Amino acid sequence: MPVKNRFAELQSEITEWRRDLHENPELLFDTHRTSALVAEKLQAFGCDEVVTGIGRTGVVGVIKGKASGSGKVIGLRADMDALPILEDTGLEYASKTPGAMHACGHDGHTAMLLGAAKYLAETRNFDGTVVVIFQPAEEGGGGGKEMCDDGMMARWGIQEVYGMHNWPGVPVGQFAIRPGAFFAATDIFEVTVEGKGGHAAKPHETIDPTVASAQIVTALQTIASRNADPVSQIVVSVTSFETSSTAFNVIPQRVKLRGTVRTLAPENRDLAETRINDICTGMAAALGCVAKVDYTRNYPVMVNSEEQTEFAADVARAVSGDCADAPLVMGGEDFAFMLEERPGAYILVGNGDTAAVHHPQYNFNDEAIPAGCSWWAEIVERRMPAA
Ligand SMILES: [Zn+2]
Ligand SMILES: [Zn+2]
């Protein structure tokens, strides 16, 4: 079965929604226009229930099938937020908000799930209930976690959840997936190295936190190269080095380091946290400084459930003839929190040969719409078949 004919018919309408969202990007939890637009469309489609304000600006829509005897409830999730990037696409429908841009294709995800909701509300050719989930703040804000913390899974009795992300480099309309750990846990750390500032010409009268911090940055490389099992995946990156002085002739009082840790196994996450603490405090002490480490665990590892992944891949093969094995991704994904609460699967849909996500010239590929929408609809119709 290729893409559903109905989505070929709806493609231009869904494309219009997508481009309107692209023109009006909103960041993190400030998806007020987007959330209102999503809620209004879900109402117009005839959803049985539409609730706003879940996870602050998240929106939930409920669509009941022709029958409900199966008692099954499936959650389908899209993300709505944009990124703080200055758009450089030159598109007619480029962002009207300088410094905000749909550079991760969440405009496409929202539009595709709206398209699927329209179709499912029209046809209702399934036995059970669909809950469409539109989350804010995927890009670092934990909007998915907030929706879970608001009790979304229990409130609507969601039993399994599915998510989708476009993927540049995969042929448009093709899919890729993998079972088990898929996206990395994404933690952040901030280290303050306190020394004793003074005149740059009198280093002997100071305790230089710059030199100590430089040694710390170098020593942190040993977590990946010397501490972690070399066959495991781990990234430790220092991304910011900021001293308390910008002068040429001052040894600063303190240095602030910031960075990120990406891991796919719980033991590596623990290892990184412990080693960052030990290396920073120990190295600082050795050079006469004092280091304070703040380590924050953000998104957990996103783990695809075996059974739902196999099912999701079958559906992808039905829609586009094939489903590739996806690579491990050291990026993070807020959908991980939903997959911690319920079994489910997250799939990649090809965006074709485009700029990478988070690039100022990236654009979601509207040609992926029929395949993406068909995958959503088929997940529902196959998982909860009508008699
Ligand atoms: Zn992104
Ligand atoms: Zn994204």
Burial class, 269, CB count within 10 angstroms (exposed 0-12 / middle 13-18 / buried 19+): buried
Gap from CA of 105 to ligand 1 centroid (Å): 8
Give the CA distances from residue 291 to residues 202, 214, 315, 355, in Å, rounded to whole numbers and listed in that order: 23, 13, 52, 40
d(CA 119, CA 134): 17
pLDDT at 2: 79
Query: 10 Å Cβ neighbour count for 1?
Result: 11
pLDDT at 3: 86
Q: Which of 268, 261, 329, 340 is nearest to 295 (CA)?
A: 261
Name the residues around ion ligand 1, CB cutoff 5 A.
104
**Contact predicate 199/277, CB 8 Å:** no
Helix (H) or strand (E) holding 152: helix 152-155
Gap from CA of 320 to ligand 1 centroid (Å): 25
Looking at all shown ligands, the one closest to residue 166's CA atom is 2
Gap from CA of 105 to ligand 2 centroid (Å): 6
DSSP state of 103: -
Give the CA distances from residue 145 to residues 65, 116, 215, 258, 339, in Å, rounded to whole numbers and listed in that order: 27, 24, 36, 24, 10
Gap from CA of 104 to ligand 1 centroid (Å): 5
Burial class, 235, CB count within 10 angstroms (exposed 0-12 / middle 13-18 / buried 19+): middle
Residues pairing with 175 in the sheet: 349
**Contact predicate 245/213, CB 8 Å:** no
Looking at all shown ligands, the one closest to residue 331's CA atom is 1
Query: 10 Å Cβ neighbour count for 96?
Result: 11
Gap from CA of 279 to ligand 1 centroid (Å): 31
Which amino acid appears at position 205 of this protein?
E
Gap from CA of 101 to ligand 2 centroid (Å): 12
d(CA 332, CA 300): 8
pLDDT at 127: 98
pLDDT < 70 regions, the chain: 1
d(CA 264, CA 269): 8
Annotate 65-91 with b (16+ C-beta within 10 A) or e (fewer): beeeebebbbbbbbbbbbbebebebee
Gap from CA of 329 to ligand 2 centroid (Å): 12
Gap from CA of 129 to ligand 1 centroid (Å): 29
d(CA 126, CA 129): 8
